[in-house]
Amino acid sequence: MDPITNPFSPGAGSPPPELVGRDPIIEKARILFGRIKERRAEKSLLLTGLRGVGKTVLLNELERLASSTGYRTVVVEAHEDKPLGPLIAPHLRGVLYNLDRVAGAGDKVKRGFRVLRSFVGALKVTYKDVEFGLDVDPEKGSADSGDIEIDLPNLFVAVGEAADERGSAVALFIDEVQYFSGKELGALIMAMHRVQQRQLPIVLLGAGLPILPGLAGESKSYAERLFSFPEVGALNADESAEALREPTLAAGVVFEPEALDEVFRLTKGYPYFLQEWGYQSWNHAPLTTITRDVVVSATSTVIERLDQNFFRVRFDRLTPGEKRFLRAIAELGPGPQRTGDIADALRVKVTSLGPLRARLIKKGMVYSPAHGDMAFTVPLFDEFMRRAIPTFTV
């Protein structure tokens, strides 16, 4: 069928034609936005899940929900090498300018600018390239200690008070939260703690890999009282069928039940893979019916595309030693593997694997779902590793 009218949308952050299976999380967010606006306490949300399950897409959906309910929103994405302060400061300036346009008496917005100016002044000492125009004098002694765990809470309080004064509320959306250092994550948690204690209208909605609850807990033991960690996962068989059936039906095309079963078997319900299989099956279908045979004939193209894009970008960032480690995990089979077994497969001592393991966790390739276990952060990565390196040799 015509690729131009293809409804499916494989790609990082590409909104799916049908956002399936996320109603419970959307409902949680709706309650959070409503309660915080009324100055009632509620836990902020940190979405967790593997790569390609739909965290970014869901975060963007929640951003729309917040905007439509009157929140000033900030959307940022953390990177391995972008520190929290410089990342967030320009956006908070935007929020303050926005609040400044709202009619209302009081000087909290002006104070917000001065505290932000202090915060940025302190950042400039560490990060030379922070460039920032702000036409106010800094408020000396607020948010300018240079210690992010002190400064960020002060800045959040100032912004929260400004929003409160103008009868508004602020929602911060942060993707890939696991990339922050322990110190930065700690600062973020402390800032939200202060905001909550003062009942100020700021909410945080983050997303990250499944290691996130562990990182947050390690950083500040009270994190679990401030945040809930909804899991974004694979869709079940019914939801997967819906994700494929509804968009095709809307275009007058039938996705046959046997074809839906086959896609679920191949994808295990992972959203990114559902989009990819839906997309190629559509293009391969000669007529307006997607049969099981069409899915089967599209599969080699799908695997090729996944190998060249989704999997390959991660593979190419690895050193030979890292590849060998990951190939050993794949050799042991799908699902989490004991670190001891990985060491045996590589014929090395467990203790010698520490640094390699730490590097791969930092790169977001693997995580530890339980003590002593290692698993891939990308679904079906074990199958890819076996295709990429067909024979495992030590």
Ligand X SMILES: Nc1ncnc2c1ncn2[C@@H]1O[C@H](COP(=O)(O)OP(=O)(O)O)[C@@H](O)[C@H]1O
Q: Min. distance of Cβ 19 from Mg ion in angstroms?
A: 14
Contact 171, 63 (CB under 8 A): yes
Distance, in Å, from the CA atom of 41 to the CA atom of 36, rounded to the nearest integer, reads: 6
Residues 35-74 that bind ligand X (CB under 6 A): 49, 51-57
Contact 54, 20 (CB under 8 A): no
Contact 314, 344 (CB under 8 A): no
Q: Which of 122, 118, 201 is nearest to 162 (CA)?
A: 201
Q: Which residues of 347-377 are buried (b: 16+ CB within 10 A; e: fewer)?
A: eeebeebeebbebbbeebbbbbeeeebbbbb
Cβ neighbours, 10 Å, residue 106: 12
Could you say which of Mg ion, ligand X, none residue 7 binds, taking C-beta under 5 to 8 angstroms by partner kind? none
Contact 363, 211 (CB under 8 A): no
Instruction: Kindly tell me which residue out of 29, 120, 174, 274 binds ligand X, with binding defined by CB under 6 A.
Output: 274
Distance, in Å, from the CA atom of 260 to the CA atom of 12, rounded to the nearest integer, reads: 23
Q: Which single residue brings its beta carbon nearest to Mg ion?
A: 56
Q: Min. distance of Cβ 13 from Mg ion in angstroms?
A: 6
Q: Which is nearer to Mg ion, 56 or 168 (CB)?
A: 56
Site membership for ligand X, residue 206 (CB under 6 A): no
Q: Min. distance of Cβ 14 from ligand X in angstroms?
A: 5
Q: Min. distance of Cβ 50 from Mg ion in angstroms?
A: 10
Distance, in Å, from the CA atom of 139 to the CA atom of 113, rounded to the nearest integer, reads: 9
The span of 3-11, 197-205, 215-223, 375-383 binding ligand X (CB under 6 A) equals: 3-11
The span of 4-12, 119-127, 142-150, 195-203 binding ligand X (CB under 6 A) equals: 4-12
Q: Min. distance of Cβ 233 from ligand X in angstroms?
A: 10
Site membership for Mg ion, residue 44 (CB under 5 A): no
Instruction: Kindly tell me which residue out of 56, 73, 291, 337 binds Mg ion, with binding defined by CB under 5 A.
Output: 56
Q: Any idea what DSSP says for residue 311? A: I
Q: Which is nearer to ligand X, 66 or 243 (CB)?
A: 243
Q: Give me the residues that bind ligand X (CB under 6 A), please.
A: 9-16, 19-22, 49, 51-57, 243, 271-272, 274-275
Q: Give me the residues that bind Mg ion (CB under 5 A), please.
A: 56
